Structure 1
Amino acid sequence: MIKLLIQPVAIVIAILVAPLAWAQLDRLENPINDSTVIYRADYFAEFLPASASDMISRIPGIGLAMRRGRGGGGRGLGSGEGEILINGQRITGKGNTGQSLLSRISADQVDYIEIIRGTSEELDIRGSGQVINVVLLDTPSRSNTTIEVNADRLRDGTLDPGGQVSFSGQTGTFNYLFHVEAESRSSNRLSKEFSFDPDYNLLETRQEESNRDQTDYQTSMNLGYTFETSVLQFNALYGKSNPPSDLTRTIHDFESGTSRRQREDNQADRSNWEIGGDYEYAFANGGKYRFLFIVNDREFEFSRQRFDVSSDAESKNLFLANLGRDRERIARTSYTWNLSDTQGVELGVEAAQTIRDSNLRLGLDIAGTQSPDYGNLVPVAINNSGSTVEELRYETFAAHNWQLNPKMSLESSLIIETSTIEQSGDVSNKRDFNFVKPKLDYRFDITPSLQLRAGLEKDVSQLSFSDFSASVDGSDEDQDTQAGNPEISQEQSWRYEVNLELRLPDDIGVVNSQFFYRDMEDVIDRIDVSPNPDDLQSARGNIGDGTRYGLNLDVSVRLAMLGLPNALLTTGLGLRDSEVTDPFLGIKRRMRNNGRWSARMSFRHDITDLALSYGLFYSNNSNDSSGRVAIDIIDIEQRKNQPNLSAFIEKKAFGNITFRFDAQNLSDNEFCRTRTRFVGATAAGVVEEIEDFCSGNGLKLVFKARATF
């Protein structure tokens, strides 16, 4: 299958790229030493962009840099890999990041955008990919206000409004950005399930419709002040959401010939805030001191109540409540200086405290004493249902950046990590960890447009503290909760990567290939934590060693050869494989959620004469492999993905108002799953029931109007 996919893709790439690459190499008889690509504001003028995000979307191959973002779930502040810089500075936040600011910065405030393909100790970024730096105009005074309103139409006809307002500018050396938004996240989901016995005789059908009425409210600010020899930045964010949801379920039992109805009343309440900042001071000798910090707090509460419904009454049969709080406090400081014209060094330390409080309550309609704290049902004891998990982690790091010659650079770094994880509450446990994490990043500019990148890194994953204690099982009606595992450890891997990137002449496009290999230990998956043979339970834990490897091919090219100079086609194909030993069956298999291939394609065409743009996005994934099979202690799931297709059209009119219409999930994509349940343990192989399940949100239409003043 892999060979069948590689051959046609390779042929298409060769046909499109070979003549362009030859022309490019022919033009580079006198290459220059500059691996940074700069797009000035006038490059985007004909596209009439409204925001920095609009500008970036017109750059060929920009997804190669954007995809490497680690998001808000990384360990501490770290090296900042994948982060987007604003004026060369990191935004110290987990929710309030450089990428989130792109849609809030109006296009008329951008001076130029850099794609930094080299390495430098000056950036405060350590990554094996590229870095995006958005540089704003440096003027004595500027300000503007951006307003966006939107409306979402769901499959059931529900209309949900939303909007956001941003106010940004600069006064002297002080810059600011204030933002407030109310964003709709509502959904209407239809699900169906068919249950069969081992001989595929129909036993039961279930039909569900769930509606979630959700609006996320958020406000944030970013402040910066530039002194003569230093820069000070401060940012803050607050978010709130309390989405109620309801569900109706109809169950037809074909063995008894009866039908019954259920409904669910689910409530959620979430809030979060974060404060971050950084300070940078430049010494006269060229050295730089940096200090970064972040403090954040997230609280959530979820309750689920299920009722059996008859013609004249209803009775509650389930109450499930999950409460939690996550807190994080991080500080990072470093000093950078040059050893020579070609070498720089950074030394520093990072300290982080992470705390998670959790409590899970389960009430059932069984014999016993009812409690109002359990929805007036009978409390059911859950092992390890209430706990506090705290991690104290310290990292000492050193990085050395060496420009070997005008075409080659080598960045090496070493991190020594020590941490203590302590769990208290229903379970008491304390463990110490020590890791040594080296990294090498080699880059060779064969020509200014052809770059080879090779990297080696020891990686230690961030543990999810929700795995330490019991939690809600939201995907299985027969199991309301999942067990926790106080002994889970960090997944570790040696990561090897080789990239070859070619930037085509006249900004026609970018071609990139990446090979990766992961040599892993303490792989995290489901393991057996059963207290006894009559009470089979599983939890996330470490299953031993494993490997992952693959090839990513990406092409982003303007279609000038087809007479469409302002049309951008971006395609990507990922081929991968993996191997671990399954803890339940003792067999070699692929890793969970690691299919053999994935493909994606996006197309955007700007008709500048009409101030009109349109485009589409398509993605698909493999299904027929053990990488889509999830083996657990009492069941096996075969997960099936379907193609996803979305499209948009955008028009600028009435001066500076941009109208946009999105059609999401045009293909009516659904998530499907076949679950095989067993009598007793999966390893015994005695099939009890087979369930075919599919669920989807259907088509969603979104209308937006945006104006900048």
Structure 2
Amino acid sequence: MSETCRARLGEFSVTVRLLASAALAGLLWSPSFVLAQDAADAPPPATAAPLRSFDPVYFDRFAPRTALDMVRQIPGFSISEGEDRRGLGQAGSNVLINGERFSGKSNDVVSELGRIGASNVIRIELLDGATLNLPGLTGQVVNIVSKVDSLTGQFRWSPRVRFRRTDPQFLDGEVSVSGKAGKIAYTLSLSNDSFRNGNAGTERVLDATGLVTDRRYEELYVNGDQPRLAAGLKYTGDSGQIGNLNLSLERPWTRITEQSDGEVVRDRDYLESEKEYNYEIGGDYLFPLWGGNLKLIGLRRFEHSPFFTRIFLDFEDLRPREGNSLATVIDETETIARAEYGWKAGKADWQFSLEGAINTLDTRADLALLDSSGTFVPIPLPGSDAVVEEKRAEIGLSYGRPLSPTLTLQTSLGGEYSQIVQSGAGGLTRSFIRPKGFVALAWKATPRLDLSLRAQRDVGQLNFFDFVASADLGAENQNSGNPDLVPQQSWNIDFQATQNLGALGSINAKAFVNFVEDIVDQVPIGLTGEAPGNIDSATIWGLSLDSTFKMDVIGWTGVRFDIDYTYRKSSVPDPLTGIRRRISGETIHEFSAEFRYDIPGGDWAVGANYFDFSRADEVRLSQLAEFPINGGDLGFYVENKNVAGLTVRLGMSNLIGTNEAFRRTFFVDRRNGPVAFVEDRDRFFGPVVSLDINGSF
């Protein structure tokens, strides 16, 4: 390592230690180590006038059990978790709880909303993010103003049954309790996200001329559970101190089996399993200092993931059985310390921020091949055992103020220094300095029309798995390691318009364009290898529409329509052919619509919903995978909002028989050469019956 690198690393280490020490000191020196906030005692720091404010009575017709039920009924609004964030800085979810961002990553805000009882919600505010003194938010944002006065609880049970070839899903649900002891508010929850999926159907193998050379009947079963124990603690001090502590522990498992019985060539027996554990600890503490407020934030996340894959091939001509196996153990850690100091100067809000982070991926893989005696023999997988570590420091200064009674400006300027170290074969140490920042404007054009515009210089989040050699036995693919990867950068321009239709509902339209440098896609490695790598440039643009129409104003009392649509288009030069194409595997469009009728004067509601989507071809250098869509998912439901005090919904989906189709073309050498053969798959899974039971106690 050069003397310059040593010096930079030393400076980074000092920064991280100072931040970590400050965060720990703030937590330990506070009046209580347990952190929380009671909204009734401390108003949220959001200072902007809301676009709309919804009192609990607005949601009475839906008989909501939780804050999540309420937010889902806000006209023209959809919850966004944001993309995979780099650190704990700006942007992220478009939901605030008592004026604050949620201090977690894997412990998401949607789950948190589901633990806030509807009886604890005072109001829900719809805000324009650019008018808040929370840098990075733009467009529509909701703020849930809530309080906890007594012990309350929520529970949910959501069994599902697919009609064909899957086990019933009985274990999906959650139970949570919230309460308050003095200045401490708390939430405890036990949940399980369960899935019992699968499909079955025929796969044909065709040669280069289109002649069918084999026909296979295949059955796939994908089972798993994600049990999670989570806790949230909140504290409000007598002098403006506000703190939060969020904890989660998860023990998910997955088991995938597939049987493929061929008519001509071979039968295939596939097994994949994973049983991991992970935890996350996140907290923040805000207190007055020197005329402003200092907020200290910390997060620690760890995930241990052992994967095992095994394949057996039995042939019609009675040749010896073939097979292979892959055992992989992956450990991921993320440690972040962040400090934000905000103050007000006249009409302007200022914020200075400093963040340090260490992200690590440690992966080990053992690949084996079945020999003629039926014994698995280890074979090398070069570059699969490695440790990738990124150390990062970020600094930023944000400024926001109203330019007029209807126009608000928010801007930020900063940068980050990162060092990426990879051990193992072909390991490298590299350092980067990247500028970051944005400018955002929010304009209330009319009392019912709100417009926002944002231009941002962004640095993307790397996937450390792309650095390491890997094999996907199920897809029969292999990636080389690529230690030369760099984070992508982009200029992002976003525009959003919200039209309040009054009693009729709301329409929220968004449009964006991103000019990306060093986009990550599949690239050649050496003469025959391939891996995720950087392509010089790409353009991505798109639009979306979230709309709600309430038909009460035209006499259809209790009728509501929700229509959402998203479209994305990208253009990137193919590293093999030079011809521009879409980014591999990206979503092209998503469309959803829901009709709901709350029958006046009673507890019954009925509804229907529809969803479909399409995605771009998945491009590798020797393969092309297509995902044809044959219809969408149509469903209906019947709901009673008072069955012995419970809300019960019975539904059925996939009524028009959407199948899971897949077509993959293999080439003799590279994708610009002749075709070797084609796999064409069409699988069915039938209708799905669902039951949702929600209650409070």
TM-score (norm 1): 0.86
Where in structure 2 are the equivalents of 1:508-547 lying within 5 Å?
A: 508-530=504-526, 532=527, 536-547=528-539
C-alpha separation between the residues in 2 aligned to 1:681 and 1:325?
34
Give me the whole-angstrom Cα distance separating, in 1, the residues matched to 2:587 and 2:322: 41
Instruction: Give, in whole Å, the separation in 2 of the partners of 1:483 and 1:191.
Output: 33
Q: Structure 1 residue 127 and structure 2 residue 137: aligned?
A: yes
- 3-state secondary structure, aligned to 1:610: coil
Find the aligned partners of 1:303 and 1:237 in 2 and give their Cα distance. Answer: 25
- Listed as ranges, the gaps of 5+ residues in structure 1 are 1-32, 254-258
| Pairwise CA distance, 1:510 | 1.3
| RMSD of Structure 2 on Structure 1 (CA) | 2.4
Contact 2:165 2:199 in 1 (8 A): no
AA matched with 1:40: D
Q: List per-residue Cα deviations over 1:670-701 (Å, max 9, x = no partner).
A: 34232222222222x21221221234544332
Q: Distance in 2 between matches of 1:573 and 1:265?
A: 37
Partner in structure 1 of residue 619 of structure 2? 631
Unaligned runs of 5+ in 2: 1-47
8 Å CA contact 1:221, 1:237 repeated in 2: yes
TM-superposed CA distance for 1:241, in Å, is 2.0
The 1:358/1:702 distance shift into structure 2, 3 A limit, reads: same
Partner Cα distance (1:260, 1:309) in 2: 5
Residue 540 of structure 1 aligns to which amino acid in structure 2? Answer: P
Summarize deviations over 1:450-494 as a string: whole Å, max 9, x none.
1111110011110111111122326524x3x32231111112111
The verdict on how the C-alpha distance between 1:599 and 1:181 changes in structure 2, with shifts beyond 3 A counting, is: closer
Deviation readout 1:505-545 (Å, 9 max, x if unpaired) = 23x21123322211111111110013x4xxx2211111221
1:556 aligns with 2:548: yes
Match of 1:495 in 2: 492
Letter in 1 for 2:577: L
Secondary structure, in 3 states, of the residue corresponding to 1:46? helix
Q: Give the Å deviation of 1:193.
A: 1.9
For residues 471 and 607 of structure 2, what CA distance do their matches in structure 1 show? 40
Task: Confirm or deny: 8 A CA contact 1:152 1:184 kept in the other structure.
Answer: no
2:287 touches 2:295 (CA, 8 Å); kept in 1? yes
The answer for the alignment partner of 1:28 in structure 2 is none
**What's the offset of the Cα at 1:121?**
5.3
Q: Contact 2:77–2:140 at 8 Å: present in 1 too?
A: no
Question: 1:306 aligned to 298, 306, 311, which one?
Answer: 311
| 3-state SS in 1 of match to 2:341 | strand
The one-letter code matched in structure 1 to 2:309 is: R
> Alpha carbons of 1:445 and 1:185: their partners in 2 closer, same or farther (altered >3 Å)?
same
Aligned to 1:701: 689
Match of 2:181 among 171, 179, 193: 171
Pair 1:70 & 2:82 matched: yes
The structural deviation recorded for 1:583 is 0.6
Partner of 1:100: helix, strand, or coil? helix
Alignment partner of 2:92 out of 81, 88, 111: 81
Q: Is the 8 A contact 1:60 1:568 kept in 2?
A: no
Q: 2:668 aligns with which of 670, 673, 679?
A: 679
Q: Do residues 577 (structure 1) and 586 (structure 2) align?
A: no
Q: Are 2:228 and 2:249, in contact at CA under 8 Å, matched by a contact in 1? A: yes
Q: Aligned partners of 2:553, 2:687: CA distance in 1, in Å?
A: 34
Encode CA deviations 1:420-456: one digit per residue, 9 max, x unaligned: 0111123321111111012011011012321111110
State the match for 2:658 in structure 1.
669
Residue identity matched to 2:455:
L
Q: Amino acid of the residue matched to residue 522 of structure 1?
A: D
| Counterpart in the other structure of 2:154 | 146
| Identity rate, percent | 27
Cα 1:648–1:491 change in 2 (3 A) is farther
2:124 to 110, 113, 124: 113
Counterpart Cα distance in 2 of 1:475 and 1:558: 48
Matching residue within 591, 600, 603 for 2:592: 600
Residue pair 2:247, 2:281 contacting (<8 A) in 1 also: yes
Q: Contact conserved, 1:305 with 1:316, CA < 8 A, in 2?
A: no
1:364-383 Cα shifts (integer Å, max 9, x gaps): 1247xx9xxxx941112112
The amino acid that maps onto 1:248 is Q
User: Is the deviation greater in 609-618 or in 405-414?
Assistant: 609-618
Residue type of the alignment partner of 1:301: P
1:180 to 171, 187, 190: 190
User: Which amino acid is 2:596 matched to?
Assistant: R
CA distance in 2, matches of 1:151, 1:513: 35
Paired residue type of 1:79:
Q
- After superposing the two structures, state which structure 1 stretch, 412-421 or 128-137, moved more: 128-137
- The 3 A distance-change label for structure 1 pair 573 and 165 is closer
Amino acid across the alignment from 1:691: E
1:559-608 CA distance string (max 9 Å, x none): 22453343321223334433221111111223323566443322333235
Q: Which residue of 2 aligns with 1:456?
A: 455
Structure 2 CA distance, aligned partners of 1:505 and 1:148? 33
2:102 aligns with one of 91, 94, 99: 91
Mapped pair 1:358 → 2:373? no
